[in-house]
Amino acid sequence: MYFWLQLLFGTFFLFLVTGRGYRNCIQKFESNDTFICVNRLKVTIHKVVFDLPPDTRNLTISYNTIKKLPSGSFGNLTKLQYLKLAHNELESLSPGAFSDLIDLNYLNLSYNQIPSLSWGVFNGLDNLRYLYLQNNSIAFLHPEVFFPLFSLKSLNLSKNFLSNFSEIVNSIQPLQNLKTLLLCSNDISYLNHIHKLPSNVSTLFLCKNNLQELNCHQDFFENISFLDLSYNNITTSSIQNVNLSKVKYLLVASNPHFDVLKYLDNSTIKPENIDYSGLNLNTSTELSQVCQHLRGKNISILNLLENGIKHLSENILENCSLSDTVDLSRNRLKNISCLKFLNPPRLKSLIVEHNLLKKLINCSKAAQFPNLKSISLRYNRIWSLENYAFAFSPNLEELKLNINNIIFLDRHTFWGLSKLKSLRLDNNLLTDLYKSTFIYLTELTSLNLRNNRVAVIFDNVFHYLSNLSILDLGGNKITHVKIEAFNGLKRLSKLYLDRNQIVTITGEMFSGVETTLQVLDLMANQLHFESSRKEISPFSNLSKVYDLKLQAQQPFGLTAIPRKFFRGLTSLQALYLSQNRLAHLSSDTFHGLSNLKFLSLGEDCNGIQNLSPGIFSNLSSLEVLDLENMCLQTLDSDIFLNLTRLKRLQLSKNALRAINVSLLENMTNLQYLDLWKCPLTCTCDNEELRNWLIKSSMQVVYVYNLTCPNDPHSYFHNFDISVCDRILKKILFCCSSMIVLLLMLIPIVYSKSYWRIRYNYFLFLSWLHERWSSDKDLYKYDAFVSYNTKDEEWVYQNMLPVLENGSSSNGLRLCLHHRDFQLGRYIVDNIVDSIHSSRRTLCVVSRSYLKSEWCSLEMQLASYKLFDEMRDVLVLILLENIPEKELSTYHRMRKVMLKKTYIQWSEEPEAQKLFWAQLIKALKGSTTEDIEDSLLSTDEQISLISS
C-alpha cells in the first residue's frame, strides 16, 4: 500500500513537472529509451524510477545502496525490456517486484546480497529469457520460484551458497525452454537428484564447486552438449559411471583425482570432444598417448592450456595435427622450434600465449604450414626475432607479438609474410624502425607499434606498406618525425601518434598521407604555443581528416591556439582539445570548421576565464559541445549563436552562477544539458532559468539534485521565486519611490507654503470663472471683517453701528461672513472672493480668534494679498489684552503684530472715541501710503507667508 501511495505521488509530481530532467537517472544521449542510474547513495527503488517515462526500454541501476525491491517496484515502466540491477546491495525481493514487466527480456541481479529467492518474486516475467543471479548469497530456492519463467533460456546462479543440487533441479523443472544453466562456485558436493534436467538444457556449468562423486543417474547428462566440471575433486571412476555420449565439449581441468588417460580407456565420450587443458599432461609420453586416442579425429580446437608443458619434441603432436586450432597457452614452453612438434596439413591457428618464450629462431629450412593464418605469441618474454623466424607460414594473415620484450627486428625477420594483413608489435622494447624492417609486408593493412621506445621516425620507414590503412605509433618516445617519414603510405587512413614527445608539428610532416588520412591522434604530446597571434597552419592539406585529437598536451597544455591553426580541415567532424589549459580562445579560432559535429574543450581550466563572443558562430553543424570544468564564470549573450543543431551541451563543474535563458532557447535542437556542480545561485537572477529548466522538453542532468551554493539542503529547482516578478517589481519600485518622495515633500510644503498654495488655487478658480474684474481698483466692500463667532456680539452691537450706520461721509461697506457669504459655495471660495472684493481686511483679534483655524486662514490669505498688491490691506483690532507670553504660542499672529501697528479696544468711553476715529482712518486711508510705513520688507513678507 505504501509503495502505491509513493507511485501515485510520483505520477502526480510528473503531471506537474513537464521537464525531462530526472532526479537519479541519466537518459542515454544516443537512445531516448535508455537510462543509467548509478552511484545514487541512500535511495529507494521508488526514488530512482518514479519519474522515468513509461516508454523506457533499457534501464541500468547499479552501484547504489538499494536494499529492497517492494511489490510493483516498476509499475510505471511496463515496456521495459532490459533491466540491470547489479551492484546495489539488494537484500530482499518482495513477491511481485517485477510483476508489471511483461515485456522484460533481460534481468541482471548479480553482485548483490540476496540470501534467498521466495515464491512470487518473478511473477509476471512471462517473456524473460536471460536471468543473471551470480555473486549473491543465495542459499535457498523456493520450489516454485521459477514457475512463471517459462520463456527463460539462460540462468546464471554462479558464486552463491547453493548446496542442495536436488532442490536446484526441482526448482527449474518449469523451465522447459532453458538451454544454459550456470552453477559454478557454489557449495555443491554431490549431484543427487530426483528429477531430470529440463530436456532443452544443453549447456551446464558446474565448475569450482566441491564435487567429489557425481552420484547422479547414468543418463542425467543425456541432453547436455557442453559440460564444465573443472576445478572440482571429481574422480575418474565417478565420471566413468555416467553417460556423456551426447556431450560435444567437456571441461574437466584441475580435478586432482581425475586421470584423463584412464578415462579415455573406458569412456562414453568421444576423445575429440574433451578439452585437455589443466590435466597435467606435461610429459611426452602423456601427450603421445592423448594423440593416440585422437588419431584420425577431426578436431576444431585442441586445447592444451595449463598443463605445465616445458618442451615439445619433434612430431610429439603428430597424431593431433588434424585440428584447426592448437592452443598451448599458460604452459612453460621456452621455444616453439619452428612448429616441428606439429604436422602441417590442417593447422589454421596457433596460440602460444603466457609461456616462457624468449627467442624465435631462423626457420628458413622448416616445413611450411600452408593453411596457417593466425599466430598469437602474446604475453611471453620474447626479446629476439631472428631472420626468417616465420618462414614456415607463408600464408599468414595475422601475427600477434605484443606484450613481449622485443628490442630489435632483423632485416629479414618477416621474410615470406607477403600476405600478412595485421601485425601487432605493441608493448615491446623496440627503439628503432628502419626502411628494411617491413620490406616484405606489402599486403599489411594494420600495424600496431604502440607502447615501445621509438624516438625518431626516419624517412621512408613505411615506404613498402602501400596497403597500410591503420598505423599506431602511440605511447612511444617520438620527438621527431622526418619530413618523408610517411612516404609510401598511399592508403593510410588512421594515424595514431598520441602519448609521445612531439614538440612541434608542421604541414610537411604529413606530406605522404595528405590525400588519404582521416583520423589523426596527437593526444598527450608536448605541443605548446606561447601566443595566439602567430599564424600556424600544420593541417592545411589534410582536407579528408574527420577526427583530430589534440587533448592533454604535456606538461602545461597548448595554452594558446595560433591563428588559422585549423585551416584546411574542411571535413573535420570531431575535435578534441580538452585538458590543455587554454588561457584564451579568439573569436575566429574555429572559423572554417563548418562540418564539425563534436567539440571537446573540457578540463581546460586555467584560472577564471570566459569565452570570446561568437566563438562558435560558424559551427552550424555542431551537435555535441563539451565545456566541462573550464572555469567559466559568465556566458556572453551570443556565445552559442547559430548552434541550431546542437544536441548535447556539457557545462558541468564551471563557476557559473547565473545563465541567461535566451542563450539556451536559441539552441532549438538541444536534447541534453549538464549543469552538474555549477554553483547556480538561488536568487531572482536565475528565476527564468529555474522555470525553464523544469519546463523544458530537454534532459537536464540531475536537475532536481542541484543545490543552492549557500545552503546544501535547499534545491535550485524549488527555491522561492514569489518575490521575483521583475515587471511588477519595477512598477512597485517606481510607485513606492514616488510615494516616498511625495511623503517627504508634502510635510515640507505644508509647513512652508500650505496657505499660499490654497490661496493661489482659489485665485486660479476665481480667474477661471471670471468671478472678479481685472480692474483691482473697483471694490465691492471697504473691508472684510475677519472675526470669531464668539466675538459676533461685539461686531454687530459695537462695530457695525459705528462703521456702517455712521454719517454718510464716514459710512463704510463691510463684508461679514455670516451675512454676506453666497449660499451653496465652498467656504474657502467665499473667503477668497470676499478678501479680493474688499479694500482692507479687518481682523478682530481675541483669544477665540487665535484658536480658530478659519480665522488664521483669513488672515493668511489677507497677507498673501498684501504680498500680491504691494500695499497695506491688513488692519488689526486687539479686542482683548493678550500678554506677549500667551501670544508667543501663535507664532504667525505674533510675527504680524511685531511688524504691524494694531488698535487696542478699551472699555473706557473716551478711549473708544479715539479707537473708532483711528479705525475709520485706517480703513479709509489713501492707497498711496508710504511703502516704508504700510508694507513689510520683501524678506519680511516672505517670512510672514512661509509662517
| 868 backbone φψ class: left, alpha, beta (φ>0; ψ -120 to 50) | alpha
Query: Rg (Cα) of the chain, in Å, rounded?
Result: 53
Going by their DSSP bridges, the two strands 34-38 and 58-62 should be labelled as parallel
pLDDT on residue 397: 98
Higher-confidence residue of 832 and 557: namely 557
* Average pLDDT of the segment spanning 832-857: 80
The closest alpha carbon to 299, from 249, 258, 263, 251, belongs to: 249
The closest alpha carbon to 775, from 696, 837, 698, belongs to: 837
| DSSP annotation of 509 | G
Q: Which of 470-479, 648-657, 768-777, 888-897 shows the lowest per-residue confidence on average (mean pLDDT)? A: 768-777
Residues 806-842 pLDDT 10s: 654 557 888 888 788 778 777 777 878 888 788 888 8
Q: From CA 311, how far away is CA 847, in angstroms rounded?
A: 140
* Average pLDDT of the segment spanning 654-678: 91
Higher-confidence residue of 884 and 695: namely 695
The label of the residue with cell 535511495 reads 43
* Average pLDDT of the segment spanning 614-631: 93
Q: pLDDT at residue 906 above 90?
A: no
pLDDT on residue 893: 63
Q: pLDDT at residue 41 above 60?
A: yes
pLDDT on residue 487: 95
Phi, psi of 496 (to 5 degrees): -110, 115
pLDDT on residue 637: 81
Q: pLDDT at residue 677 above 80?
A: yes
Q: What percent of the chain has pLDDT over 70?
A: 89
pLDDT on residue 718: 87
Q: From CA 107, how far away is CA 93, in angstroms rounded?
A: 13
pLDDT on residue 767: 55
Residues 139-185 pLDDT 10s: 999 999 999 999 999 999 999 999 999 999 999 999 999 999 999 99
Question: Residue 892 — very low, low, confident or very high, per pLDDT cuts 50/70/90?
Answer: low
Q: Which of 332-336, 489-493, 859-863, 908-912 shows the lowest per-residue confidence on average (mean pLDDT)? A: 859-863
Residues 206-259 pLDDT 10s: 999 999 989 899 999 999 999 999 999 999 999 999 999 999 999 999 999 999
Sign for the CA dihedral angle at 627, 628, 630, 634 comes to: positive
Q: From CA 190, how far away is CA 3, in angstroms rounded?
A: 43
Q: For residue 912, what is its C-alpha cell?
A: 473708544
Higher-confidence residue of 456 and 866: namely 456
Find how far residue 174's CA is from the centre of its chain. 47
Q: What is the mean pLDDT of the chain?
A: 87
* Average pLDDT of the segment spanning 20-24: 81
Going by their DSSP bridges, the two strands 180-182 and 203-205 should be labelled as parallel
Q: From CA 366, how far away is CA 364, in angstroms rounded?
A: 6
Q: pLDDT at residue 128 above 70?
A: yes
| DSSP annotation of 799 | I
* Average pLDDT of the segment spanning 379-383: 97
Domains in the chain (CATH in brackets) are 1-152 (3.80.10.10), 430-526 (3.80.10.10), 530-724 (3.80.10.10), 774-946 (3.40.50.10140)
Q: From CA 518, how far away is CA 520, in angstroms rounded?
A: 7
Q: Which of 322-336, 433-447, 776-790, 867-881 shows the lowest per-residue confidence on average (mean pLDDT)? A: 867-881
